[in-house]
A and B are shown apart, each in its own frame.
Chain A
Amino acid sequence: AQSVTQPDIHITVSEGASLELRCNYSYGATPYLFWYVQSPGQGLQLLLKYFSGDTLVQGIKGFEAEFKRSQSSFNLRKPSVHWSDAAEYFCAVGPMEYGNKLVFGAGTILRVKS
């Protein structure tokens, strides 16, 4: 069965510090991988996605993620966090075939302290 695990429910980092949000997936084939951000009461905004090729992908707002097949992981990173990054982050996995419905992780709430 497909599943996505985000082990950290909450993470608090200081403004300017580096950030890493963990994501592990279970999938029967090569998946598409996504990271989304959701501000309170809002929809989801795509930060970045991995389909194939270079395993280090760059996204918007200075985020990047690295696909590690051997570890079934797709961790999100940012070298220096800004207060505006406080939000909830979701990792998602989807199939390559037509349809592409996504399975989401439980989310990680990021708090940024000044």
Chain B
Amino acid sequence: GAVVSQHPSWVICKSGTSVKIECRSLDFQATTMFWYRQFPKQSLMLMATSNEGSKATYEQGVEKDKFLINHASLTLSTLTVTSAHPEDSSFYICSAREGLVGTEAFFGQGTRLTVV
């Protein structure tokens, strides 16, 4: 199957700083990438959908200015958590799809963010 790589796997940052998480499709071109957030003992919640070369579509309740998403190429999307606070600590997972309706979305291994 296709491989999606997320980096870093874990990160600890100080409150008020920004953190960038990368999501790369290693062996296919990802037309669409999705960013999810998972709180402890809870399910994944979709944060935003990004299509290459266009602005991301954010889900209701997700702050666009806080969670900046860039999908500048067909193999890379980035999520930047700006001015991070302890409540932003979570597990962030991306997934990437090659394109058409019904095709499988492959998930990255996730990034554990801890804001202290």
How far apart are the CA atoms of A44 and B97 in the complex, in Å? 14
Q: Is the CB–CB distance between B49 and A101 below 8 Å?
A: yes
Q: Interface segment, A63-71, A74-82, A102-110?
A: A102-110
Which residues of B in the span 60-116 have a Cβ within 8 Å of any Cβ on A?
93, 95, 97, 100-110, 112
Q: By DSSP majority rule, is chain B's interface helix, strand, loop, or mixed?
A: strand
Which residues of B in the span 1-53 have a Cβ within 8 Å of any Cβ on A?
1, 4, 6, 32, 34, 42-46, 49
Q: How many residues of B are in contact with the other chain, CB < 8 A?
A: 26
Q: Is the CB–CB distance between B44 and A96 below 8 Å?
A: no
B interface residues (Cβ-Cβ under 8 A, vs A): 1, 4, 6, 32, 34, 42-46, 49, 93, 95, 97, 100-110, 112
A interface residues (Cβ-Cβ under 8 A, vs B): 32, 36, 41-46, 49, 51, 90, 96-107
